[in-house]
A and B are shown apart, each in its own frame.
Chain A
Amino acid sequence: MPEKSALVRDLERVVEPTHVVWRPEDLLVYEYDGSIDRNTPNAVVVPANAEQVSETIKIARKRGVPVVPRGAGTGLSGGAISMEGAVVLALTRLNKVLEIDKENRVAIVEPGVVNLELGQALAPYGLQYVPDPSSQAACTIGGNVGENAGGPHCLAYGVTTNHVLGMEVVLADGSITWLGGESREVPGYDLRGVFIGSEGTLGVVTKVAVRLVPVPEAIRTMVAAFSSVEAASETVADIVASGVIPGAVEMIDRLCIEAVEPAFHPGYPEDAQAILLVEVDGLHETVAEQAELVEQLCHKHGTTDWRTAEDEEERETLWASRKKALGALGRLAPNYYLIDGVIPPTRLPETMSKINALSDELEIPIANVLHAGDGNLHPCILFDSRDPEQVEKALIAGGRILEMCVEVGGALSGEHGIGLEKQGYLPLVFTDEDLEAMARLKPAFGAAGMFNPGKIFPTDELRTGVPHAAIMQRLTADVVI
């Protein structure tokens, strides 16, 4: 029979005992996030307000225990996984939309509000919050702030940092303060800007002021099938170069089509090797002008099948096939490892070819679903986590893809963050001096050693050894063969 630690007893004085999770069997739920990694937290606290967040942090600090903020746990880089015996602060009870200011287009929300639910709350006002990660049915606004989340519609409208005006945060000393505000700018250093995307390493967000935009008066969603990934990639590069900036340009390849067609019945042609989903939005006149150009470019590159969503229902089916593609991959393999590299859009054709060649070389299937317009790749390496050989192969393939991205002037992550997953690869793009400068943010926020330890920055072991060694070790430690 496990016993409560002194820490747990302290925490039970901050929130009701039912909101402190500490029994090993209960903690299993918090071992995971959306990544392939896992680790068991010390304890989990589910606070109801900022004051309880502050008290929890003070207790953890007193006892020398770090804290990891957690939203819905849908993150894909291990950001919400507790390392170094950290206490997890699960913010799911902070789930209220506090204010919607229609005239000034600002909403104040708590961090546990689910992205899609915010969208639903805004719909009656004719407004929307733009960043729409594919996990939007589950992921929270606080998590979105932590990871500087993106989504398909970031091509035209930008990512989370472009849509968050300010946050109320709890810092390492337990103080509650605003970074930024409800207006679009405040004097002083842009602390809001450096906090967004800091992966929970600088403090805990307890309120978020988000910028809203009107729902566009017209939207046209188009689907084009291609007989090769290269032809589809060339089309994307041409669309971006043409000066039209569509709301979204998404691509899925043959393997993904095989998974989504039986799941959602979007009606893609049987012989299609790649599908482009292009959405233009705005004024009726703009949409008409841009849709015509997009259609011309698709035909120029030999689209084999072209159609426009006839109604909202068809549009939703098409988007479901894209946004829920990852879930459908379960039809093909027990696990997937999703890579988040970014490349310049003009390098898409050659990079997609190289990824296909890598799949052949390592004999491991890779399904591709990507935010093609901004060059944000999402190769999904399919494997079975019960087989250590397949796990290692998946990790090697992931590393090779990240290297390919860096070689063509790209980035390691477009929207998922570095977390535990990619910290070993950070030296591919940043020097020791770059990383040392970044590390100074922690003491500046008074957060050294306090929040989400063991993330983003590569350990010495990772710098000198195999970048994926630590993950491999964690994943295979308790595999039952």
Chain B
Amino acid sequence: MPEPYEIDGITPSRVECPASVEDLSAALRTVHADAGTAVIWGGGSRMHVGNKIARYDVAVDMTGLDRIVDYRPPDLVVVAEAGMTLAALQAELGKNNQRLPFDVQSPEHATIGGSLASNAVGPLRGRYGGIRDLVIGMSVVQADGTMTKSGGSVVKNVSGYDMARLHIGALGTLGAIATVAFKIGPIPHTMRTVASWFDSAESAAVAGMRITNGSFMPEAVTLVAGPRAAKHASELSAQDSSKASENAVMLLVALAAGPATVERQVNDTTSILGSAMADGFVVLEDNAQFGVWSLAGEGNPPPPTFSVRSTVKPTEAFNLAGALAGPADSDSRDVHVVAQIGFGTVEAHWRGDVSPELVRSAQSAIRNAGGAWMIERCPIDLKSELDVFGDLGASLAVMRRMKQQFDPTGTLSPGRFAGRI
């Protein structure tokens, strides 16, 4: 069991639990004045992301900042504190039949700030974009405790630089996200999932691209490959006595809109699946569809030992997913691959020993697909050997200057970001 607030085997000497933005500011001011270092801690579900931290004195636990600051349902805007969990936020919005069209693996733990800072991924990103596309304003406490804001709480705003972008995916290395304003939308009236299975990622590609590029605007198109996907396909195929190969990959399509639209979308999807020779498919309704979407996560504990993520062109996503899932007879088959086709994000999670060969082959598969890679999970000793952000080229120089500008003393998670900045 890891110690509370542990990152890569390091535990802090102190934990701060601010209950307000002012508290957060005071906490960081103190750390800064003491020439200490701090990690901004949300739900703790994605603290494995990033390079090995160079020094870690204080954990700033954000979960006390868990309130809705402003919620105006008719204006489609909500402003919430960063320590609020996504589940709590969605529950509030759900009371007005609204939602933030963004999903993560464990919304009951994942906080708003943590999901933004670690740029978390969910199946809805194909249709609605990444979470960065839903943010319209943000307040941030700088490394020295200064409180700043940008954007606002209207859906369209170009007043001043779009500073919020800088903190999305920054792992809290440029400031602590304090409050966030989101553009929200209605919960669709009807939702269905069409779950299909194919004998390989290659054979799923034709159907997958036609569905993704279809005019009928699916809510999500996700490909899952690996033993978990094959097992699930086998269970579903048993229900209607269709076939599912031992190495089946699954294509999950979510459709959400008004009832007439969804009926049409289901028909269009299943007709494409029929002509693209899917080995089988089922149309799931209501709660029956949620089980299959659990495949879009990294799976039950224990967590994977090695996880990579890359965003490539959608046409490359199938090849990449196939390559990462590996040949059927490979002994590295304890792998689970999830690809959000419309967005092009492919994640692969392995369990078991992490051999240099595995690392090399994953890297080369991603390179062949024209993608940049990011290692999200790996053993600590590997983090000492390589930069988990990969090679960022010339833009790394700008990123270094950015860190220098916003956290010159290296107060916030030193070493964790790209280039160990």
Q: Which of B144-163 contact A (CB under 8 A)?
A: 146-150, 152-163
Asked if A444 and B213 make an inter-chain contact with CB atoms under 8 angstroms apart, the answer reads no
A286 to B188 Cα, complex, angstroms: 12
* CB contact under 8 A between A189 and B150, given known A344-B72, A374-B156: no
* CB contact under 8 A between A429 and B152, given known A104-B313, A193-B162, A241-B73: yes
* CB contact under 8 A between A417 and B158, given known A183-B344, A187-B389, A191-B398: yes
Asked if B393 and A443 make an inter-chain contact with CB atoms under 8 angstroms apart, the answer reads no
Asked if A185 and B313 make an inter-chain contact with CB atoms under 8 angstroms apart, the answer reads no
* Interface check B41, CB cutoff 8 A: no
* CB contact under 8 A between A443 and B147, given known A243-B97, A417-B158: no
Asked if A441 and B154 make an inter-chain contact with CB atoms under 8 angstroms apart, the answer reads no
A245 to B263 Cα, complex, angstroms: 20
- From A161, A171, A441, A443, name the one whose CB has the most chain B CB atoms within 10 angstroms: A441
Asked if A285 and B215 make an inter-chain contact with CB atoms under 8 angstroms apart, the answer reads no
> 1/0 per position for A157-188, CB-CB distance to B under 8 A?
01101100000000100010111011111111
A171 to B394 Cα, complex, angstroms: 11
Q: Which residue from chain A places its CB closest to the CB of B119 in the assembled complex?
A: A185
* Interface check A150, CB cutoff 8 A: yes
Contacts of A435 in B (CB 8 A): 160
Contacts of B146 in A (CB 8 A): 433, 437
A390 to B327 Cα, complex, angstroms: 76
Asked if A437 and B163 make an inter-chain contact with CB atoms under 8 angstroms apart, the answer reads yes
Asked if A186 and B372 make an inter-chain contact with CB atoms under 8 angstroms apart, the answer reads yes
* CB contact under 8 A between A283 and B154, given known A183-B312, A197-B161, A429-B159: no
* Interface check A396, CB cutoff 8 A: no
Asked if A194 and B165 make an inter-chain contact with CB atoms under 8 angstroms apart, the answer reads yes
* Interface check B261, CB cutoff 8 A: yes
Asked if B258 and A289 make an inter-chain contact with CB atoms under 8 angstroms apart, the answer reads yes
A431 to B142 Cα, complex, angstroms: 14
A343 to B155 Cα, complex, angstroms: 9
* Interface check B315, CB cutoff 8 A: yes
Stretch at the interface among B13-21, B55-63, B129-137, B297-305: B129-137
* Interface check B108, CB cutoff 8 A: no
Contacts of B154 in A (CB 8 A): 342-344, 374-375, 409-411, 414
* Interface check A147, CB cutoff 8 A: yes
* Interface check A426, CB cutoff 8 A: yes
Asked if B153 and A409 make an inter-chain contact with CB atoms under 8 angstroms apart, the answer reads yes
A243 to B258 Cα, complex, angstroms: 11
Asked if B157 and A414 make an inter-chain contact with CB atoms under 8 angstroms apart, the answer reads yes
* Interface check B264, CB cutoff 8 A: yes
* Interface check A313, CB cutoff 8 A: no
* Interface check A331, CB cutoff 8 A: no
> 1/0 per position for A428-472, CB-CB distance to B under 8 A?
011101111110110111100000000010000000000000000
Asked if B160 and A104 make an inter-chain contact with CB atoms under 8 angstroms apart, the answer reads no
Which of B75, B158, B217 is within 8 Å of A416, CB to CB? B158
* Interface check B371, CB cutoff 8 A: yes
* Interface check A59, CB cutoff 8 A: no
Contacts of A185 in B (CB 8 A): 119, 130, 311, 343-345
A185 to B146 Cα, complex, angstroms: 30
* Interface check A196, CB cutoff 8 A: yes
Asked if A346 and B75 make an inter-chain contact with CB atoms under 8 angstroms apart, the answer reads yes
Which of B130, B159, B166 is within 8 Å of A189, CB to CB? B166
Asked if A283 and B132 make an inter-chain contact with CB atoms under 8 angstroms apart, the answer reads no
Q: Which of B312-340 contact A (CB under 8 A)?
A: 312-315
Q: Which residue from chain B places its CB closest to the CB of A181 in the assembled complex?
A: B372
Contacts of A105 in B (CB 8 A): 213, 314
A105 to B214 Cα, complex, angstroms: 12
A284 to B155 Cα, complex, angstroms: 27
A190 to B129 Cα, complex, angstroms: 14
By size class, the interface of chain A is 35 or more
A161 to B401 Cα, complex, angstroms: 23
Contacts of B75 in A (CB 8 A): 240-241, 344-346, 375
* Interface check B195, CB cutoff 8 A: no
* CB contact under 8 A between A456 and B160, given known A101-B313, A103-B314: yes
Which of A197, A240, A443 is within 8 Å of B158, CB to CB? A197
Contacts of B217 in A (CB 8 A): 282-283
Stretch at the interface among B28-36, B168-176, B275-283, B350-358: B168-176
Contacts of B343 in A (CB 8 A): 184-185
Contacts of B395 in A (CB 8 A): 177-179, 188, 191
A453 to B198 Cα, complex, angstroms: 58
Q: Which residue from chain A places its CB closest to the CB of B139 in the assembled complex?
A: A434
A104 to B208 Cα, complex, angstroms: 12
Quote the shortest CB–CB distance from B249 to chain A (angstroms): 20
Quote the shortest CB–CB distance from B301 to chain A (angstroms): 26
Asked if B402 and A437 make an inter-chain contact with CB atoms under 8 angstroms apart, the answer reads no
Quote the shortest CB–CB distance from A218 to chain B (angstroms): 9
* Interface check B87, CB cutoff 8 A: no
* Interface check A418, CB cutoff 8 A: yes
Asked if A103 and B209 make an inter-chain contact with CB atoms under 8 angstroms apart, the answer reads yes
* Interface check B274, CB cutoff 8 A: no
Q: Which residue from chain B places its CB closest to the CB of A402 in the assembled complex?
A: B159
Asked if A187 and B74 make an inter-chain contact with CB atoms under 8 angstroms apart, the answer reads no
Asked if A443 and B394 make an inter-chain contact with CB atoms under 8 angstroms apart, the answer reads no
* Interface check B392, CB cutoff 8 A: yes
> 1/0 per position for B89-118, CB-CB distance to A under 8 A?
000000001100000000000000000000
A343 to B152 Cα, complex, angstroms: 10
Q: Which of A84-138 contact B (CB under 8 A)?
A: 101, 103-106
A240 to B154 Cα, complex, angstroms: 13
* Interface check A237, CB cutoff 8 A: yes
Asked if A434 and B148 make an inter-chain contact with CB atoms under 8 angstroms apart, the answer reads yes
Asked if B159 and A190 make an inter-chain contact with CB atoms under 8 angstroms apart, the answer reads no
Quote the shortest CB–CB distance from B148 to chain A (angstroms): 4
A346 to B71 Cα, complex, angstroms: 13
Contacts of A154 in B (CB 8 A): 156
A104 to B312 Cα, complex, angstroms: 10
- From A193, A194, A375, A431, name the one whose CB has the most chain B CB atoms within 10 angstroms: A193
Asked if B166 and A240 make an inter-chain contact with CB atoms under 8 angstroms apart, the answer reads no
* Interface check B359, CB cutoff 8 A: no
Q: Which residue from chain A places its CB closest to the CB of B388 in the assembled complex?
A: A187
* Interface check A273, CB cutoff 8 A: no
Contacts of A193 in B (CB 8 A): 132, 162, 165-166, 168
Asked if A183 and B371 make an inter-chain contact with CB atoms under 8 angstroms apart, the answer reads yes
Q: Which residue from chain A places its CB closest to the CB of B262 in the assembled complex?
A: A285
A245 to B98 Cα, complex, angstroms: 13
Q: Which 4 A-B pairs have the closest CB atoms?
A: A193-B165, A243-B186, A241-B74, A185-B311
15 A-B residue pairings within 8 Å (CB atoms): A106-B313, A150-B156, A171-B398, A182-B313, A187-B373, A240-B76, A285-B257, A344-B77, A375-B154, A417-B158, A429-B152, A431-B148, A433-B147, A440-B405, A443-B401
A sample of 7 more A-B contacts (CB under 8 A), given A189-B174, A189-B417, A283-B264, is A189-B398, A190-B165, A285-B264, A422-B159, A430-B150, A444-B401, A444-B406
Chain B residues packing against A (C-beta within 8 Å): 72-77, 97-98, 119, 129-130, 132-133, 140, 142, 146-150, 152-163, 165-166, 168-170, 174, 185-186, 209, 213, 215-217, 257-258, 260-261, 263-265, 311-315, 343-345, 370-374, 389-390, 392-396, 398-399, 401-402, 404-406, 417-418
